[in-house]
Amino acid sequence: MAGRGKRKAGGRSSETRNPAEDGKKNRGGESDVSEDLQQELQHLYQLPMPEDFYHLWQFCEELNPGDPCDALTSSLGLQLVGPYDILAGKHKVTTNVEPNYFLHWRYFYDPPEFQTVIAGDSETQYHLGYFRDTPDELPAFVAAGEAKKGCSLLQMGDNLFCSLNLLLNRRLKEISNKRQISSLKELETKLTAMAKKLNYSLEQRTKGMKARDRKVSTKTFHGAGLVVPIDKSGVGYRELPETDGSLKKICKAIVEAPSDEARIKAFAPIQEMITYVQFANDECDYGMGYELGIDLFCYGSHYFHKVVRQLLPLAYKLLKSHLFAEIVEAHIAKRKWDDLDQLKG
């Protein structure tokens, strides 16, 4: 093992951070969703929602006034879920008396930074959602994940119109049926027209996303990256003493250990890193524990849940992302692959 790690330049400046101004700005004017309903949604989720979220609801209402959540099902195999269920009023008719919105449509590998809003193929558990760097910011981008294939998150633009346009283009390349092609092209025309009208970018990687990339301290196992506040003297993040590749090998050795005795021995490098994290926390380099906690969470094995509980909620609290601490604690306590709809009954 390489040592206690070193500080790394970059990251978001903790001196100039303004949560009200960070992240993607609302664009395109106000939606038709009432202010009361928007406030109710924010009360339930405790997260600010961007205007493209509400504009897509408006778009789907025009496509399917009777059931906007299913407006994209026949064409793209997608369903609006999560916070869209609040707009649909499903929370008012559920028989579940205590739904946990932190877990509503939260897939197995979804980190606290990720909020699912669209569900797709159930076999791969394809889903789209917003990725935030802190809970008080608007999303940095939209990402796609396939939980049955792993923890990776793919950036899909900075708004849902872009994400759906990318999926439409991909789908058009996959099919040959003329009727299906005509239907998808009609949907694409409507979608791009509304995106243009509302001034939403259809670029998969916008200037804002590229600017965020320059602030990323570490990519982590999920690939979306973590932006850690770093002050002018470079305090805030130091690298783990292992590369992603070597850390995965350590995790693999733990999970595949032939006995409890062998597993305890295989855990030694992780225990050593936890000691380094404690040193880092003492010196305000909170990003080290944040990274290790996220990586172990993303590896997915229950063998790491105890360590994740030890590292990640503390890291979020030190970074003043208290809501993310609550989300990961709730998720680890009831982490599962299926039955993700908290309003189902």
Active site residues: 283
Contact partners, residue 32, CB within 8 Å, separation at least 6 = 54, 58
CB–CB of 160/138 below 8 Å? no
How many C-beta atoms lie closer than 10 Å to residue 264's C-beta?
Answer: 12
Alpha carbons 130 and 53: distance in angstroms, whole number? 10
Complete DSSP assignment for 215-275: T-SB-TTTSS-B--EE-TTSTT-B--SS-HHHHHHHHHHHHT-SSHHHHHHHTHHHHHHHH
DSSP bridge pairs for 12:
229
CA 85 vs CA 67, 214, 343: distances in Å: 11, 35, 8
Alpha carbons 267 and 57: distance in angstroms, whole number? 47
Alpha carbons 237 and 228: distance in angstroms, whole number? 7
CB–CB of 115/47 below 8 Å? yes
